[in-house]
Amino acid sequence: MRTVASQCWSSLLLLLLALLVGSAHAAPLRLERLDRQGAQPDEVLAGAYDREFRKVEGTSIVIPRPAPQWWRVVLGDLPADRALPQLVLSPPNQKRLEVWQPGERAPASRTAFGPESELLHSARALVVPLNAGLKPGDVLYLRITSPNLIGSELSVEPMATVHAGDVQYARFRASVLVALFIVALISFGYFAALREHGYAYLGITLLAQLANLMIEGGEIRVFPALAEFAMDRRTNIVINTAAVLTGIRFLMFFLQLQVQQPRVAQLLNVCSTLLGGLLLVSVIHVTTFSAYFGNTVMLIAFGGIAVAIVRALRRRQLDAMYLLLAWAPVMVVLVAMVGGYQNWWAMPGWAIDGFPIGLATSGLGLMLGLTARLEQLRVDRDAAQRRWTYDKLTGVITRDAVEDMLRINIEKAHAAGSPLSVVFVDIDHFKSINDLYGHSAGDEALRIVALRIRNWLPTGHLVARYGGDEMLLVLIGLNQSEALVLAGALRETVSRNPLAIDGATVPLGLSMGVADLRPGDSSETLLRRADEALYRSKAAGRARVTGYGGGQDIEGVGQLDL
């Protein structure tokens, strides 16, 4: 992802350099506008309205109304004919360009899409080759139709400059589109691994925006069937609505709004429902109201998300910081573009090129945020796993964990025909320790016994707290006779050193029950026999080790007397 991101930025710099180079090679021209509506080509070409053309400062073309508007271009110094001068209108921004050159009665027509588009150049500009022999002072007549207030720049450039701009544009667009595609794939990978719908929402959002960028940027033109599909007005509304809808759902997931900010979540749920309805209706039919309605709902949703981000930042929610850095620039660009397309204000020049850059960088930024969240989830999972595996008081294995481990080791022992034994360990008169010295003393007794057993027990065996003052040893590779010897030595070691509490000496005694694995045994059967052996140790006076089966008692030395 880092390589793709660096390619995006390098391509952007190259594109800006190409634009500067292009402007440096652009020939000067004078631009004039005819405000009369409904003028016919024959009348304009015959000079009937020449006096009504008004000079325009600069070379920017903005169409204030959806009706066609006439422009007159007075050529200045031109590149030599061998440089193949081209008339360039960039960016197209959904405009239709018709050009009448001197002596021609039929125009050359250009659009970014449809039958009047051409694949010779990228969709960054509408390009018309100028006829050979043109000289300074010659006049071109242009008729331009635009559905929005987005401006375009008119220039005359050599073919080499046009091609250089096309190449840089293609590199820039490829870097952005590839970055979006990779981030979308990673999002779906997270969804497949974690089954979190939020990642699927992000992937769908990025793919929808990818499709939208390919339509608006012209890459879809190389696929004739898809290009025809892209020309359908419903396509733009359906894709953009789907992108906004899934984007809202992802942002709700990312900020955990259902839990953290339920009121904002309710607002966004309403917006999602409205956009879902618009999506279904737009598949069948769209009107001029469709885009207005969808954009209005989107702006309301973005307002709610902005409020949610501010609140989350106040709560020091780390996810909100990632979201602010990654998604806020895209929101600003989208709001600027929506207003431009709805003719609420003039489209800012930076919005068109800023949108794909913002999408790619925001996608990468959100992936960093998701990666940080996954890392936190891993830390939380490891902590939960540790809590499940190890007893907080004693530090030895918990009952649930040791039962799983015992089942696994029993399966291995049955398969290999190797011995395995278990030992139940009970601290004698533990209730009396609690009653006489307090529960803190009882806890300390448990910790000391667990520590002594764990330090004394050879590596490879398991020790767990099974419940209350009861512990369980799993002796792997030992039969019952060997386990009895080990348990007896362990009992002597632990009991030899009494516990010192508040200046008082508290003797520790252990009762143990031992059982070994027999053919066909389950963990439940084995533990039941060891428990019966422990019961016999207690019934026989405590402070002893008893093996299951009778005649194998190892009596302790000295009884614990409190």
Q: How far is CA 502 from the centre of its chain?
A: 57
pLDDT for res 557: 34
CA-nearest of 521, 561, 562, 534 to 467 is: 534
Q: Give the pLDDT confidence score for residue 216 in this predicted structure.
A: 75
Residue 21 reports pLDDT greater than 60: no
Q: What is the pLDDT of residue 14?
A: 47
More confident site: 371 or 425: 425
Task: Give tens-digit pLDDT for 484-526.
Answer: 999 999 998 888 888 777 677 888 889 999 999 999 999 999 9
Q: How many CB atoms lie within 10 A of CB 343?
A: 15
The residue that leads in pLDDT, 200 or 354, is 200
* Surface-to-core class of residue 389, CB atoms within 10 Å of its CB (0-12 exposed, 13-18 middle, 19+ buried): middle
**Amino acid at residue number 133:** G
pLDDT score, position 174: 87
Which of 520-541 are b and which e, b meaning 16 or more Cβ less than 10 Å from the residue's Cβ?
ebebeebbebbbebbebbeeee
Q: Which domains does the chain have, with CATH numbers?
A: 29-75+80-157 (2.60.40.2380), 172-386 (1.20.1070), 399-555 (3.30.70.270)
Q: Write the pLDDT tens digit of every residue in 48-105.
A: 999 999 999 989 888 877 789 999 999 988 888 778 899 999 888 788 999 999 988 8
Rounded to a whole number of angstroms, the CA Rg of the chain reads 40
Report d(CA 416, CA 418) in Å as an integer.
Answer: 5
Which pLDDT belongs to residue 12?
Answer: 47
**DSSP β-bridge partners for residue 464:** 397, 472
Q: Which helix (H) or strand (E) segment is 30 a member of?
A: strand 29-34
Residue 530's pLDDT band, with cuts at 50, 70 and 90, is very high
State what percent of residues in the chain have pLDDT above 90.
34
Give the mean pLDDT of the chain: 83
Q: In what order do the strands lie in the sheet with 152-157?
A: 60-61, 152-157, 86-90, 126-129
Query: Which pLDDT value is given to residue 26?
Result: 52
Confidence of residue 173 (pLDDT cuts 50, 70, 90): confident
More confident site: 97 or 232: 97
Element housing 424 (H / E): strand 420-427
Among 58-67, 205-214, 314-323, 522-531, the range of highest mean pLDDT: 522-531
pLDDT recorded at residue 10: 52
The pLDDT of residue 6 is 52
Label residue 425 by pLDDT band (50, 70, 90).
very high
Q: What is the pLDDT, as a whole number, of residue 299?
A: 86
Instruction: Residue count of the chain, please give it.
Output: 562
